[in-house]
Structure 1
Amino acid sequence: MLKQLGFLCMKMHSCLEYSLQLSAHPSISLLQISQRYRGTLYPGTNVSVEEAWKRRIQLRQPKLQCDEQVQPKLYYAPEWDLEKRHDGEEGEAHPMIGQDVMTPEKWNYYNKIVWPPNYVSPETGLPLLRQVYYCRESVHCSPKRMFMACHLVWRLNIDEALEQLKLQRKKACMILRQVLTEAKKKASEEFHVEFPSDMHVAEAFPIQCQIVKGYRRHARERITVTRYRYINIFVRLEEGDGPPMKKRWEPKNGWDKMKDYYKYLRERCIEYSI
Protein backbone atom coordinates (compact mmCIF):
# COMPACT_ATOMS: atom_id res chain seq x y z
CA MET A 1 0.00 0.00 0.00
CA LEU A 2 2.85 2.39 0.88
CA LYS A 3 4.51 1.63 -2.43
CA GLN A 4 1.31 2.50 -4.27
CA LEU A 5 1.01 5.78 -2.32
CA GLY A 6 4.63 6.60 -3.07
CA PHE A 7 4.08 5.88 -6.75
CA LEU A 8 1.04 8.19 -6.77
CA CYS A 9 3.04 10.93 -5.06
CA MET A 10 5.79 10.60 -7.65
CA LYS A 11 3.24 10.90 -10.45
CA MET A 12 1.67 13.96 -8.81
CA HIS A 13 5.10 15.55 -8.38
CA SER A 14 5.95 14.96 -12.03
CA CYS A 15 2.61 16.45 -13.11
CA LEU A 16 3.29 19.54 -10.96
CA GLU A 17 6.72 19.83 -12.53
CA TYR A 18 5.23 19.79 -16.02
CA SER A 19 2.59 22.34 -15.03
CA LEU A 20 5.34 24.69 -13.83
CA GLN A 21 7.16 24.21 -17.11
CA LEU A 22 3.96 25.10 -18.95
CA SER A 23 3.63 28.38 -17.05
CA ALA A 24 7.29 29.22 -17.67
CA HIS A 25 7.09 28.42 -21.40
CA PRO A 26 3.64 29.41 -22.71
CA SER A 27 4.66 28.67 -26.32
CA ILE A 28 4.73 24.91 -25.60
CA SER A 29 1.34 23.29 -26.03
CA LEU A 30 -0.23 20.97 -23.49
CA LEU A 31 -0.29 18.18 -26.09
CA GLN A 32 3.48 18.37 -26.56
CA ILE A 33 4.02 18.25 -22.79
CA SER A 34 1.79 15.18 -22.46
CA GLN A 35 3.56 13.51 -25.37
CA ARG A 36 6.95 14.29 -23.87
CA TYR A 37 5.78 12.95 -20.52
CA ARG A 38 4.58 9.71 -22.10
CA GLY A 39 7.75 9.35 -24.17
CA THR A 40 6.04 9.52 -27.60
CA LEU A 41 8.21 12.40 -28.87
CA TYR A 42 11.51 11.93 -30.66
CA PRO A 43 14.33 12.79 -28.19
CA GLY A 44 15.42 16.42 -28.42
CA THR A 45 12.60 17.50 -30.77
CA ASN A 46 8.87 18.24 -30.84
CA VAL A 47 8.34 15.63 -33.57
CA SER A 48 6.41 12.45 -32.82
CA VAL A 49 8.17 9.11 -33.00
CA GLU A 50 5.97 7.95 -35.90
CA GLU A 51 6.78 11.03 -37.99
CA ALA A 52 10.50 10.77 -37.19
CA TRP A 53 10.67 7.14 -38.28
CA LYS A 54 8.78 7.97 -41.48
CA ARG A 55 11.56 10.42 -42.33
CA ARG A 56 14.26 7.89 -41.53
CA ILE A 57 12.58 5.14 -43.54
CA GLN A 58 12.43 7.45 -46.57
CA LEU A 59 16.23 7.17 -46.76
CA ARG A 60 15.84 3.47 -47.64
CA GLN A 61 14.09 4.27 -50.89
CA PRO A 62 16.37 3.10 -53.73
CA LYS A 63 17.84 5.89 -55.85
CA LEU A 64 19.96 6.03 -58.96
CA GLN A 65 23.53 7.03 -58.31
CA CYS A 66 23.28 9.91 -60.80
CA ASP A 67 20.25 11.32 -58.94
CA GLU A 68 21.65 10.86 -55.45
CA GLN A 69 22.94 13.95 -53.67
CA VAL A 70 25.27 13.16 -50.79
CA GLN A 71 25.09 15.83 -48.10
CA PRO A 72 28.39 16.84 -46.44
CA LYS A 73 28.76 15.66 -42.87
CA LEU A 74 30.99 17.04 -40.16
CA TYR A 75 32.59 14.60 -37.74
CA TYR A 76 35.97 13.58 -36.37
CA ALA A 77 37.30 10.04 -36.68
CA PRO A 78 40.79 8.61 -36.17
CA GLU A 79 42.81 7.58 -39.19
CA TRP A 80 42.06 4.14 -40.61
CA ASP A 81 45.12 2.18 -41.73
CA LEU A 82 44.34 1.11 -45.30
CA GLU A 83 47.50 -0.98 -45.65
CA LYS A 84 46.63 -3.23 -42.71
CA ARG A 85 44.40 -6.26 -42.92
CA HIS A 86 41.56 -6.07 -40.42
CA ASP A 87 40.36 -9.67 -40.74
CA GLY A 88 42.95 -11.06 -38.32
CA GLU A 89 45.23 -12.54 -40.98
CA GLU A 90 48.72 -11.57 -42.03
CA GLY A 91 49.69 -10.29 -45.44
CA GLU A 92 49.03 -7.32 -47.67
CA ALA A 93 45.61 -5.70 -47.67
CA HIS A 94 43.59 -6.06 -50.86
CA PRO A 95 40.51 -3.86 -51.38
CA MET A 96 38.54 -6.69 -53.04
CA ILE A 97 39.52 -9.68 -50.88
CA GLY A 98 38.27 -10.19 -47.34
CA GLN A 99 37.62 -6.51 -46.64
CA ASP A 100 33.81 -6.52 -46.99
CA VAL A 101 33.24 -8.71 -43.91
CA MET A 102 32.34 -7.00 -40.66
CA THR A 103 35.00 -7.51 -37.99
CA PRO A 104 35.08 -6.50 -34.30
CA GLU A 105 37.75 -3.89 -35.06
CA LYS A 106 35.53 -2.23 -37.66
CA TRP A 107 32.49 -2.38 -35.36
CA ASN A 108 34.28 -0.80 -32.40
CA TYR A 109 35.69 1.88 -34.70
CA TYR A 110 32.24 3.51 -34.80
CA ASN A 111 32.51 4.26 -31.08
CA LYS A 112 35.48 6.54 -31.80
CA ILE A 113 33.58 8.83 -34.18
CA VAL A 114 32.86 12.22 -32.59
CA TRP A 115 30.00 14.36 -33.89
CA PRO A 116 29.55 18.08 -33.14
CA PRO A 117 27.20 18.90 -30.23
CA ASN A 118 23.53 19.18 -31.20
CA TYR A 119 24.33 17.97 -34.71
CA VAL A 120 21.29 17.69 -36.99
CA SER A 121 21.23 15.16 -39.81
CA PRO A 122 20.84 16.99 -43.16
CA GLU A 123 18.76 14.15 -44.69
CA THR A 124 16.06 13.93 -42.02
CA GLY A 125 16.35 17.22 -40.12
CA LEU A 126 16.51 15.28 -36.85
CA PRO A 127 19.29 15.33 -34.24
CA LEU A 128 21.60 12.34 -34.12
CA LEU A 129 20.84 10.07 -31.18
CA ARG A 130 23.47 8.48 -28.99
CA GLN A 131 24.55 5.03 -30.11
CA VAL A 132 26.60 2.31 -28.47
CA TYR A 133 28.40 -0.37 -30.48
CA TYR A 134 29.32 -3.58 -28.71
CA CYS A 135 30.77 -6.88 -29.87
CA ARG A 136 31.59 -10.22 -28.27
CA GLU A 137 34.14 -12.33 -30.09
CA SER A 138 34.60 -16.09 -30.56
CA VAL A 139 31.37 -17.46 -29.09
CA HIS A 140 30.79 -21.18 -29.54
CA CYS A 141 27.24 -21.19 -30.90
CA SER A 142 25.40 -21.97 -34.10
CA PRO A 143 25.00 -18.84 -36.27
CA LYS A 144 21.54 -19.94 -37.43
CA ARG A 145 20.22 -20.31 -33.88
CA MET A 146 21.79 -17.02 -32.84
CA PHE A 147 20.17 -15.31 -35.84
CA MET A 148 16.72 -16.35 -34.60
CA ALA A 149 17.49 -15.00 -31.12
CA CYS A 150 18.75 -11.71 -32.58
CA HIS A 151 15.64 -11.34 -34.71
CA LEU A 152 13.50 -11.86 -31.60
CA VAL A 153 14.90 -8.77 -29.83
CA TRP A 154 15.47 -6.62 -32.90
CA ARG A 155 13.97 -3.11 -32.50
CA LEU A 156 12.74 -3.85 -28.98
CA ASN A 157 13.40 -1.80 -25.88
CA ILE A 158 16.50 -3.04 -24.07
CA ASP A 159 14.65 -3.98 -20.87
CA GLU A 160 11.84 -5.67 -22.79
CA ALA A 161 14.42 -7.56 -24.86
CA LEU A 162 16.10 -8.85 -21.71
CA GLU A 163 12.73 -10.03 -20.35
CA GLN A 164 11.87 -11.80 -23.60
CA LEU A 165 15.25 -13.56 -23.68
CA LYS A 166 14.84 -14.57 -20.05
CA LEU A 167 11.71 -16.55 -20.95
CA GLN A 168 13.50 -18.45 -23.74
CA ARG A 169 15.56 -21.19 -22.11
CA LYS A 170 17.91 -21.72 -25.03
CA LYS A 171 21.66 -21.42 -25.35
CA ALA A 172 21.58 -18.69 -27.99
CA CYS A 173 19.07 -16.60 -26.01
CA MET A 174 21.06 -16.94 -22.80
CA ILE A 175 24.28 -15.81 -24.53
CA LEU A 176 22.55 -12.89 -26.24
CA ARG A 177 21.04 -11.81 -22.92
CA GLN A 178 24.52 -11.59 -21.43
CA VAL A 179 25.73 -9.57 -24.44
CA LEU A 180 22.86 -7.08 -24.14
CA THR A 181 23.47 -6.72 -20.41
CA GLU A 182 27.14 -5.92 -21.06
CA ALA A 183 26.20 -3.44 -23.80
CA LYS A 184 23.76 -1.68 -21.45
CA LYS A 185 26.43 -1.51 -18.76
CA LYS A 186 28.91 -0.09 -21.27
CA ALA A 187 26.40 2.60 -22.29
CA SER A 188 25.98 3.80 -18.69
CA GLU A 189 29.59 3.54 -17.50
CA GLU A 190 31.76 4.35 -20.52
CA PHE A 191 29.46 6.56 -22.61
CA HIS A 192 27.61 8.12 -19.63
CA VAL A 193 24.12 7.60 -21.02
CA GLU A 194 21.80 8.97 -18.35
CA PHE A 195 18.88 6.61 -19.00
CA PRO A 196 20.18 3.39 -20.61
CA SER A 197 16.78 1.75 -20.11
CA ASP A 198 15.31 4.12 -22.72
CA MET A 199 17.51 2.67 -25.48
CA HIS A 200 16.40 0.06 -28.00
CA VAL A 201 18.20 -2.69 -29.91
CA ALA A 202 18.76 -1.07 -33.29
CA GLU A 203 20.92 -3.89 -34.67
CA ALA A 204 21.81 -7.39 -33.53
CA PHE A 205 23.34 -10.02 -35.80
CA PRO A 206 25.97 -12.80 -35.71
CA ILE A 207 28.78 -13.44 -38.19
CA GLN A 208 30.69 -16.70 -38.32
CA CYS A 209 34.39 -16.10 -37.62
CA GLN A 210 35.98 -19.54 -37.68
CA ILE A 211 35.30 -23.27 -37.90
CA VAL A 212 37.30 -25.77 -35.86
CA LYS A 213 37.11 -29.28 -37.27
CA GLY A 214 37.11 -32.29 -35.00
CA TYR A 215 36.69 -36.02 -35.39
CA ARG A 216 34.07 -38.28 -33.88
CA ARG A 217 34.61 -42.03 -33.70
CA HIS A 218 31.68 -44.38 -34.36
CA ALA A 219 31.28 -48.12 -34.31
CA ARG A 220 33.21 -50.32 -36.76
CA GLU A 221 36.04 -47.81 -36.97
CA ARG A 222 33.95 -45.20 -38.76
CA ILE A 223 35.06 -41.59 -38.29
CA THR A 224 33.07 -38.47 -39.16
CA VAL A 225 34.11 -34.83 -39.23
CA THR A 226 32.54 -32.55 -36.62
CA ARG A 227 32.52 -28.78 -37.17
CA TYR A 228 32.60 -26.50 -34.14
CA ARG A 229 31.40 -23.08 -35.29
CA TYR A 230 32.43 -19.86 -33.59
CA ILE A 231 30.68 -16.55 -34.17
CA ASN A 232 31.03 -12.84 -33.40
CA ILE A 233 27.91 -11.16 -32.00
CA PHE A 234 27.41 -7.51 -32.99
CA VAL A 235 24.95 -5.28 -31.10
CA ARG A 236 24.07 -1.62 -31.58
CA LEU A 237 21.97 0.22 -29.00
CA GLU A 238 20.29 3.49 -29.96
CA GLU A 239 18.60 6.09 -27.80
CA GLY A 240 14.82 6.44 -27.96
CA ASP A 241 12.05 4.12 -29.11
CA GLY A 242 12.36 1.90 -32.14
CA PRO A 243 10.06 1.86 -35.16
CA PRO A 244 6.63 0.28 -34.70
CA MET A 245 7.28 -2.47 -37.29
CA LYS A 246 9.99 -5.09 -37.64
CA LYS A 247 10.08 -5.36 -41.40
CA ARG A 248 12.05 -3.20 -43.82
CA TRP A 249 8.88 -1.47 -45.00
CA GLU A 250 5.74 -0.69 -43.05
CA PRO A 251 3.06 -3.33 -43.75
CA LYS A 252 0.10 -2.17 -45.84
CA ASN A 253 -3.35 -1.95 -44.31
CA GLY A 254 -6.66 -2.64 -46.03
CA TRP A 255 -7.00 0.86 -47.50
CA ASP A 256 -3.55 0.72 -49.09
CA LYS A 257 -4.31 -2.67 -50.60
CA MET A 258 -7.61 -1.33 -51.94
CA LYS A 259 -5.79 1.59 -53.63
CA ASP A 260 -3.32 -0.81 -55.22
CA TYR A 261 -6.19 -2.96 -56.48
CA TYR A 262 -7.99 0.07 -57.95
CA LYS A 263 -4.76 1.12 -59.64
CA TYR A 264 -4.43 -2.36 -61.13
CA LEU A 265 -8.01 -2.23 -62.42
CA ARG A 266 -7.54 1.20 -64.01
CA GLU A 267 -4.31 0.19 -65.73
CA ARG A 268 -5.93 -2.75 -67.55
CA CYS A 269 -6.13 -2.58 -71.32
CA ILE A 270 -7.79 -4.61 -74.05
CA GLU A 271 -5.28 -6.32 -76.29
CA TYR A 272 -5.34 -5.59 -80.03
CA SER A 273 -7.73 -2.67 -79.51
CA ILE A 274 -7.67 0.59 -81.47
Structure 2
Amino acid sequence: LVVKNREGKLERTQDLAGFPVIAPTGEKVVLGSLADITLEEGPTQINHIDSQRAITIMVIPPREIALETAMDMVIEKVVGPIKESGLLSNLYSIKLGGTADDLTRTRKALMWNFILAIAISYLLMSALFENFFYPFIIMFSVPLAAAGGFVGLFLVNLFIAYQPLDILTMLGFVILVGIVVNNAILIVHQSLNNIRDQNMVPRSAIAESVRTRIRPIYMSTITTVCAMLPLVLFPGAGSEFYRGLGSVVVGGLLISTVFTIFLIPALLSLTFDAASVLKRFFKPAKS
Protein backbone atom coordinates (compact mmCIF):
# COMPACT_ATOMS: atom_id res chain seq x y z
CA LEU A 1 0.00 0.00 0.00
CA VAL A 2 1.55 3.33 -1.11
CA VAL A 3 0.13 6.51 0.42
CA LYS A 4 0.54 9.79 -1.47
CA ASN A 5 -0.54 13.39 -1.03
CA ARG A 6 -0.87 16.13 -3.58
CA GLU A 7 2.78 17.09 -3.35
CA GLY A 8 3.96 13.52 -3.87
CA LYS A 9 4.72 10.35 -1.95
CA LEU A 10 5.05 10.53 1.82
CA GLU A 11 8.73 10.17 2.67
CA ARG A 12 8.65 9.78 6.46
CA THR A 13 6.56 7.88 8.95
CA GLN A 14 5.86 11.06 10.86
CA ASP A 15 4.16 12.50 7.78
CA LEU A 16 1.32 10.01 8.26
CA ALA A 17 0.28 11.81 11.44
CA GLY A 18 -0.86 14.79 9.38
CA PHE A 19 -2.76 12.68 6.87
CA PRO A 20 -6.38 13.93 6.71
CA VAL A 21 -9.19 11.50 7.46
CA ILE A 22 -12.94 12.09 7.10
CA ALA A 23 -14.75 11.11 10.31
CA PRO A 24 -18.26 9.55 10.27
CA THR A 25 -19.64 12.95 11.31
CA GLY A 26 -18.19 14.47 8.16
CA GLU A 27 -15.54 16.35 10.07
CA LYS A 28 -11.99 16.30 8.71
CA VAL A 29 -9.39 15.21 11.27
CA VAL A 30 -5.75 14.17 11.04
CA LEU A 31 -4.70 10.55 11.43
CA GLY A 32 -2.42 11.39 14.35
CA SER A 33 -5.41 12.32 16.50
CA LEU A 34 -7.01 8.92 15.95
CA ALA A 35 -4.09 6.50 16.30
CA ASP A 36 -0.54 6.18 17.55
CA ILE A 37 1.76 5.76 14.57
CA THR A 38 4.83 3.57 15.16
CA LEU A 39 7.22 1.69 12.90
CA GLU A 40 6.97 -2.10 13.33
CA GLU A 41 7.74 -5.21 11.34
CA GLY A 42 5.04 -7.48 9.94
CA PRO A 43 4.35 -9.97 7.17
CA THR A 44 4.14 -8.64 3.66
CA GLN A 45 1.32 -11.10 2.91
CA ILE A 46 -0.97 -13.47 4.80
CA ASN A 47 -0.92 -17.06 3.54
CA HIS A 48 -3.65 -19.62 4.12
CA ILE A 49 -3.54 -23.44 4.01
CA ASP A 50 -6.91 -25.20 4.19
CA SER A 51 -8.57 -21.86 5.03
CA GLN A 52 -6.29 -21.36 8.04
CA ARG A 53 -3.58 -18.78 8.44
CA ALA A 54 -0.16 -20.34 7.99
CA ILE A 55 3.48 -19.34 8.19
CA THR A 56 5.83 -21.42 6.04
CA ILE A 57 9.46 -21.97 7.02
CA MET A 58 11.53 -23.68 4.34
CA VAL A 59 14.43 -25.88 5.46
CA ILE A 60 16.93 -27.15 2.87
CA PRO A 61 19.34 -29.70 4.42
CA PRO A 62 22.92 -29.99 3.16
CA ARG A 63 23.58 -32.50 0.41
CA GLU A 64 25.57 -34.79 2.70
CA ILE A 65 22.63 -35.18 5.14
CA ALA A 66 19.81 -37.54 4.23
CA LEU A 67 16.29 -36.15 4.27
CA GLU A 68 15.21 -38.60 6.98
CA THR A 69 18.10 -37.47 9.19
CA ALA A 70 17.21 -33.82 8.63
CA MET A 71 13.58 -34.53 9.57
CA ASP A 72 14.66 -36.24 12.78
CA MET A 73 16.92 -33.30 13.64
CA VAL A 74 14.13 -30.76 13.06
CA ILE A 75 11.68 -32.78 15.15
CA GLU A 76 14.19 -33.36 17.96
CA LYS A 77 15.80 -29.92 18.16
CA VAL A 78 13.05 -27.55 16.95
CA VAL A 79 9.54 -28.98 17.03
CA GLY A 80 9.98 -31.04 20.19
CA PRO A 81 11.37 -28.23 22.41
CA ILE A 82 8.68 -25.80 21.20
CA LYS A 83 5.88 -28.21 22.09
CA GLU A 84 7.44 -29.13 25.44
CA SER A 85 7.94 -25.49 26.41
CA GLY A 86 4.19 -24.85 26.29
CA LEU A 87 4.57 -21.76 24.10
CA LEU A 88 2.06 -23.15 21.62
CA SER A 89 -1.57 -22.84 22.63
CA ASN A 90 -4.41 -24.91 21.25
CA LEU A 91 -4.84 -22.32 18.51
CA TYR A 92 -1.50 -23.15 16.91
CA SER A 93 0.03 -26.31 15.46
CA ILE A 94 3.21 -27.35 13.67
CA LYS A 95 3.16 -29.61 10.63
CA LEU A 96 6.02 -30.89 8.48
CA GLY A 97 5.01 -30.65 4.83
CA GLY A 98 6.43 -30.66 1.36
CA THR A 99 8.97 -33.38 0.67
CA ALA A 100 8.86 -34.42 4.32
CA ASP A 101 5.12 -35.09 4.03
CA ASP A 102 5.71 -37.18 0.90
CA LEU A 103 8.39 -39.13 2.73
CA THR A 104 6.02 -39.90 5.61
CA ARG A 105 3.41 -41.23 3.20
CA THR A 106 6.06 -43.33 1.47
CA ARG A 107 7.13 -44.85 4.79
CA LYS A 108 3.56 -45.85 5.61
CA ALA A 109 3.08 -47.31 2.13
CA LEU A 110 6.32 -49.28 2.45
CA MET A 111 5.17 -50.83 5.72
CA TRP A 112 2.02 -52.07 3.99
CA ASN A 113 4.14 -53.31 1.10
CA PHE A 114 6.15 -55.41 3.57
CA ILE A 115 2.96 -57.05 4.84
CA LEU A 116 1.75 -57.51 1.27
CA ALA A 117 5.04 -59.16 0.30
CA ILE A 118 4.64 -61.66 3.15
CA ALA A 119 1.05 -62.44 2.11
CA ILE A 120 1.95 -62.90 -1.57
CA SER A 121 4.92 -65.13 -0.70
CA TYR A 122 2.69 -67.28 1.51
CA LEU A 123 0.03 -67.66 -1.18
CA LEU A 124 2.59 -68.53 -3.86
CA MET A 125 4.15 -71.20 -1.67
CA SER A 126 0.70 -72.54 -0.82
CA ALA A 127 0.08 -73.01 -4.53
CA LEU A 128 3.52 -74.63 -4.96
CA PHE A 129 3.09 -77.17 -2.15
CA GLU A 130 -0.69 -77.49 -2.53
CA ASN A 131 -0.82 -77.14 1.23
CA PHE A 132 -1.39 -74.25 3.62
CA PHE A 133 0.69 -75.54 6.53
CA TYR A 134 4.11 -76.13 4.95
CA PRO A 135 4.37 -72.48 3.80
CA PHE A 136 3.52 -71.46 7.36
CA ILE A 137 6.62 -73.35 8.55
CA ILE A 138 8.72 -71.71 5.84
CA MET A 139 7.54 -68.23 6.87
CA PHE A 140 9.23 -68.70 10.26
CA SER A 141 12.46 -67.73 8.51
CA VAL A 142 11.11 -64.19 7.93
CA PRO A 143 11.20 -63.08 11.61
CA LEU A 144 14.74 -64.43 11.85
CA ALA A 145 15.71 -62.39 8.80
CA ALA A 146 14.07 -59.26 10.23
CA ALA A 147 15.96 -59.69 13.50
CA GLY A 148 19.19 -60.18 11.56
CA GLY A 149 18.47 -57.04 9.54
CA PHE A 150 18.17 -54.95 12.70
CA VAL A 151 21.36 -56.53 14.07
CA GLY A 152 23.22 -55.67 10.85
CA LEU A 153 21.95 -52.09 10.96
CA PHE A 154 22.98 -51.80 14.61
CA LEU A 155 26.51 -53.04 13.87
CA VAL A 156 26.88 -50.58 10.99
CA ASN A 157 25.84 -47.71 13.27
CA LEU A 158 28.24 -48.96 15.94
CA PHE A 159 31.39 -49.57 13.90
CA ILE A 160 31.12 -47.84 10.51
CA ALA A 161 28.82 -44.81 10.34
CA TYR A 162 25.40 -43.66 11.47
CA GLN A 163 22.70 -45.03 9.20
CA PRO A 164 19.06 -44.05 9.82
CA LEU A 165 16.09 -46.29 9.13
CA ASP A 166 15.30 -44.51 5.88
CA ILE A 167 13.29 -45.59 2.84
CA LEU A 168 16.06 -47.61 1.19
CA THR A 169 16.88 -49.32 4.48
CA MET A 170 13.22 -50.28 4.91
CA LEU A 171 13.25 -51.56 1.34
CA GLY A 172 15.92 -54.03 2.43
CA PHE A 173 13.39 -55.75 4.71
CA VAL A 174 10.99 -56.13 1.78
CA ILE A 175 13.80 -57.67 -0.28
CA LEU A 176 14.59 -60.09 2.55
CA VAL A 177 11.08 -61.55 2.43
CA GLY A 178 11.69 -62.85 -1.08
CA ILE A 179 15.25 -64.05 -0.42
CA VAL A 180 15.30 -65.85 2.92
CA VAL A 181 12.35 -68.15 2.16
CA ASN A 182 14.36 -69.83 -0.60
CA ASN A 183 16.54 -71.75 1.87
CA ALA A 184 13.54 -73.06 3.79
CA ILE A 185 11.78 -73.97 0.54
CA LEU A 186 14.74 -76.13 -0.50
CA ILE A 187 14.67 -78.08 2.78
CA VAL A 188 10.90 -78.58 2.90
CA HIS A 189 10.57 -79.44 -0.78
CA GLN A 190 13.41 -81.97 -0.72
CA SER A 191 12.03 -83.56 2.46
CA LEU A 192 8.64 -84.07 0.83
CA ASN A 193 10.29 -85.52 -2.28
CA ASN A 194 12.26 -87.99 -0.14
CA ILE A 195 9.10 -89.14 1.61
CA ARG A 196 7.05 -89.40 -1.57
CA ASP A 197 9.61 -90.80 -4.03
CA GLN A 198 11.93 -92.86 -1.81
CA ASN A 199 9.45 -93.90 0.90
CA MET A 200 11.72 -92.59 3.64
CA VAL A 201 10.51 -92.02 7.18
CA PRO A 202 10.02 -88.30 7.97
CA ARG A 203 13.07 -87.81 10.21
CA SER A 204 15.40 -89.59 7.80
CA ALA A 205 13.92 -87.62 4.90
CA ILE A 206 14.49 -84.33 6.72
CA ALA A 207 18.07 -85.23 7.67
CA GLU A 208 18.84 -86.27 4.09
CA SER A 209 17.33 -83.09 2.68
CA VAL A 210 19.48 -80.96 4.98
CA ARG A 211 22.58 -82.96 4.04
CA THR A 212 21.98 -82.58 0.30
CA ARG A 213 20.73 -78.97 0.34
CA ILE A 214 23.12 -77.38 2.81
CA ARG A 215 25.79 -76.86 0.15
CA PRO A 216 23.61 -74.89 -2.34
CA ILE A 217 22.10 -72.96 0.57
CA TYR A 218 25.49 -71.79 1.83
CA MET A 219 26.81 -71.17 -1.69
CA SER A 220 23.90 -68.89 -2.61
CA THR A 221 24.11 -67.09 0.74
CA ILE A 222 27.86 -66.52 0.49
CA THR A 223 27.64 -65.16 -3.06
CA THR A 224 24.83 -62.77 -2.11
CA VAL A 225 26.61 -61.58 1.04
CA CYS A 226 29.89 -61.04 -0.82
CA ALA A 227 28.05 -59.06 -3.49
CA MET A 228 26.40 -56.81 -0.89
CA LEU A 229 29.44 -56.26 1.36
CA PRO A 230 30.98 -53.49 -0.81
CA LEU A 231 27.84 -51.42 -0.25
CA VAL A 232 28.34 -51.75 3.50
CA LEU A 233 32.10 -51.54 3.99
CA PHE A 234 33.56 -49.32 1.29
CA PRO A 235 32.91 -45.55 1.12
CA GLY A 236 32.18 -43.82 -2.13
CA ALA A 237 29.71 -41.66 -4.00
CA GLY A 238 26.22 -42.64 -2.91
CA SER A 239 27.41 -45.22 -0.37
CA GLU A 240 25.54 -43.45 2.45
CA PHE A 241 22.27 -44.07 0.60
CA TYR A 242 22.71 -47.82 0.02
CA ARG A 243 24.71 -48.75 3.13
CA GLY A 244 21.54 -49.27 5.15
CA LEU A 245 19.99 -51.52 2.51
CA GLY A 246 23.16 -53.59 2.27
CA SER A 247 23.51 -53.96 6.04
CA VAL A 248 19.91 -55.15 6.39
CA VAL A 249 20.23 -57.70 3.59
CA VAL A 250 23.61 -59.00 4.79
CA GLY A 251 22.57 -59.25 8.43
CA GLY A 252 19.22 -60.81 7.62
CA LEU A 253 20.73 -63.39 5.28
CA LEU A 254 23.46 -64.46 7.70
CA ILE A 255 21.21 -64.80 10.74
CA SER A 256 18.40 -66.45 8.80
CA THR A 257 20.69 -68.94 7.06
CA VAL A 258 22.35 -70.06 10.28
CA PHE A 259 19.13 -70.57 12.21
CA THR A 260 17.05 -71.86 9.28
CA ILE A 261 19.26 -74.96 9.09
CA PHE A 262 18.17 -75.85 12.63
CA LEU A 263 14.72 -74.29 13.03
CA ILE A 264 12.97 -75.40 9.83
CA PRO A 265 13.95 -79.11 10.13
CA ALA A 266 12.88 -79.11 13.79
CA LEU A 267 9.50 -77.54 13.00
CA LEU A 268 9.01 -79.87 10.05
CA SER A 269 9.79 -82.91 12.19
CA LEU A 270 7.34 -81.76 14.86
CA THR A 271 4.72 -81.28 12.17
CA PHE A 272 5.13 -84.82 10.85
CA ASP A 273 5.06 -86.22 14.40
CA ALA A 274 1.90 -84.29 15.23
CA ALA A 275 0.29 -85.42 11.98
CA SER A 276 1.05 -89.08 12.72
CA VAL A 277 -0.35 -88.77 16.25
CA LEU A 278 -3.54 -87.17 14.97
CA LYS A 279 -3.83 -89.80 12.27
CA ARG A 280 -3.65 -92.59 14.84
CA PHE A 281 -6.04 -90.79 17.15
CA PHE A 282 -8.70 -90.25 14.50
CA LYS A 283 -8.17 -93.59 12.77
CA PRO A 284 -11.45 -95.53 12.81
CA ALA A 285 -11.40 -98.61 15.01
CA LYS A 286 -11.60 -102.00 13.31
CA SER A 287 -14.67 -104.08 14.12
Taking structure 1 as the reference length, the TM-score comes to 0.23
The structure in which a higher percent of residues are strand is 1
Q: Larger helix proportion, structure 1 or 2?
A: 2
Radius of gyration: which is bigger? 2
TM-score, normalised on structure 2? Answer: 0.22
